[in-house]
Amino acid sequence: MTAVETLATVAAGFEIAFSLEALLFCFIGVTIGTFVGVLPGVGAMAAVSICLPLTFYLDPTIALIMLAGIFYGAQYGSSTSSILLNIPGTVTSAVTALDGYPMTLQGRAGPALFITTITSFIGGSLAILLMMWFAPVVAEFALRFSSAEYFSIMLLGLIAASTLSIGSPLKGLTMVVAGLALGCVGTDLNTGWFRFTFGVLELGDGLHLVPVAMGLFGVAEILSSVGREQKFTIDPKSITLRSLVPTRQDVRDSVLPTLRGSAVGAGIGALPGSGAAIATFMAYALEKRVAKDPSRFGRGAVEGVASPEAANNAAVQAAFIPTLSLGIPGDALMAVLIGAMMIHGIVPGPQFMSEHIDMFGALVASFWIGNVLLLVLNIPLIGLWVRLLAIPYHVLYPAMLFFIGIGVYSIHNNVFDIYVVVVFGVVGYFLSMFHYPAAPLLLGFILGPLMEEHLKRTLLISQGDFMVFLERPISMTLLACSALLLLFSLRPLLKSARGRSPTG
């Protein structure tokens, strides 16, 4: 796709994105996203999982616009509780709290909130430009892929998501394997035999995405938040429009960190399986390294707020590049969006750019519109979002549980799905208690059946010869990258095991 064709596609997309229905659901999406982002501990994954059943009755393009709005809208709002209360709602906003909360203690909460909003807009906008130009290029390159390459790149994405995420790489790999096992539940497409159903007829069609995602992230988060002590010490009336205005020095100190953070976020976010958490930590580390006085960080440095927030939102927008062009999700939430597209009969991947070019243009246009709406929502209404932090948990979470139950039941009108939500809610709660990440499990669950399909197709063509994966150059390169990444991530564990072994 040439530059002129890309511009024409986006221009045509604005016609769809500016329709009344698209504008309405884009506004609903970014508003819900900001709302759940502000509330500590809820997160975009829980919000998208809860709202997913509502989109089944919408046009696929409108549904994706709304879900994407929740996704990047939550990144805008997630910094509010981090800055004001030192309670990160997500892993990505934990970096913002390092310098954002000290700014609040210094009486500079207003400028910190304003800077996060502006840098989020800049980072997201630069990543949208990157997606406009590179997603079609990646898709054209991926048209050369066979099933062998698809299997290899999915394997690379799973390993990257499990080993590069925050926490133990071994635990991440364990969760990926568990997700792959869950994806095997149901009827084998080749033989028609039931697998791992244990006599439960409802499992004949396999586990469904929505109840699994709602349980792992929605119900599990609610269970984790029950009994959590709620502290709110900020006077909402003190956050006024006048208090938001940063000084000239704040603006000067934010310009270069914002650009650097946007570049880091866009680059990291475009890699399958990387996610925004890695981008924010890398952006913060980069600013601390290039700073003239690194000791300022952690004490209220503006650069420590601007750079991670720009990287956070740039990574979120750039994650759509591998998702749409390759069909490989950048993180667990992107995997849910892929699941939503498949439910509507749309398969993301290289063919997406040619078969659904109008949807791609409408999505890009809606991202621009959504980012502008988020400026309107966040700057004048920051006082309102601050007041939302005062909502008691015992009022908020029962309502969320009610909507989860109604949403799950409405998909298939089957009580069994509610049981699945409850089971995976308890599983997700214990996973978080023992610090096992649930996101790699969901990635494995969604990509598992696709990997199995491509593996069987490749072996069928090669008559069972596994060497076909090494004979094709692209597949061999991807498998080599997977092996190197795995060895690099597990190297600390191997060193510690070698250190404990007795010497002969």
Of 255 and 391, the one with more pLDDT: 255
Give the helix ranges, DSSP H, for 106-215.
109-142, 147-163, 169-183, 209-213
Query: Taking the domains of the chain in order of start, what are their residue ranges?
Result: 3-492
Tens of pLDDT, residue by residue over 20-71, are 999 999 999 988 888 877 776 566 777 787 787 778 788 888 988 998 888 8
Structure tokens given for 501: 């072994």
User: Cα–Cα distance between 75 and 356 in angstroms, integer?
Assistant: 27
Sign of CA pseudo-dihedral 405, 408, 414, 417: negative
Q: Are 262 and 126 in contact (CB under 8 A)?
A: yes
Rounded-to-10 torsion of CA 461, 463, 466, 472: -40
Nearest to 446 by CA among 271, 278, 206: 206
pLDDT confidence bin for 480, thresholds 50/70/90 = very high
* Structure tokens given for 407: 């949403």
**CA atoms of 166 and 85, how far apart (whole Å):** 22
More confident residue, 423 or 98: 423
pLDDT(1) > 70:
no
Mean pLDDT of the chain: 80
Q: How far apart are CA 321 and CA 318, in angstroms?
A: 6
Structure tokens at 44: 């975009």
Q: What is the DSSP letter of 86?
A: S
* Burial status of residue 247 (CB atoms within 10 A of its CB: 0-12, 13-18, 19 or more): exposed
Residue 501 zone, left/alpha/beta (φ > 0; ψ -120 to 50; rest): beta
Judge whether residue 485 has pLDDT over 60.
yes
How many other CB atoms sit within 10 Å of the CB of residue 201?
A: 9
Give the residues across from 195 on adjacent strands.
186
Q: What average pLDDT does the segment 176-186 reach?
A: 89
The CA distances from residue 412 to 168, 405, 422, in Å, are 37, 12, 16
Q: Looking at this protein, which amino acid is placed at residue 334? A: M
Mean local confidence (pLDDT), 140-166: 75
Cα–Cα nearest to 375, from 127, 85, 72:
72
Report the SS3 class of residue 418: helix
Helices (H), 164-247: 169-183, 209-213, 220-225, 241-244
Each residue's pLDDT tens digit, 218-274: 788 778 767 555 555 555 555 666 666 778 888 888 899 999 999 888 887 777 656
User: What's residue 504's pLDDT?
Assistant: 45
Distance CA 420, CA 504 (A): 52
Return the bridge partners of 83, or none: none
- How far is residue 330 from each of residues 164, 307, 336, measured CA to CA in Å? 12, 21, 11
Q: Which residue did the predictor score with more confidence, 494 or 453?
A: 453
| Mean pLDDT of all residues in 421-430 | 91
Q: List the beta bridge partners of residue 194.
A: 187
Predicted structure pTM score: 0.71
Long-range contacts of 281-287 (CB under 8 A, 24+ apart): 281/95, 281/166, 281/308, 282/311, 283/95, 283/307, 283/308, 283/310, 283/311, 284/95, 284/98, 284/308, 286/260, 286/261, 287/257, 287/260, 287/261
100-136: burial string, b at 16+ Cβ within 10 Å, e else: bbbbbeeebbbbbbbbbbbbbbbbbbbbbebbbeebb
- 491, two tokens: 């190297």
Torsion from C-alpha of 386, 70, 127, 488, nearest 10 degrees: 100
Report pLDDT digits (tens) over 198-212. 888 888 888 887 788
Q: 63 with 363: CB under 8 angstroms?
A: no
More confident of the two residues 496 and 398 = 398
What kind and span of H or E run contains 22? Answer: helix 20-38
Q: DSSP for 26-38?
A: HHHHHHHHHHHHH
Nearest to 319 by CA among 266, 264, 270: 270
Distance CA 322, CA 139 (A): 9
Within 10 Å of residue 399's Cβ, how many Cβ atoms?
9
What whole-number distance in Å separates Cα of residue 117 and Cα of residue 501?
51
Give the SS3 label for residue 346: coil
Q: What is the largest CA-CA distance in the chain?
A: 75
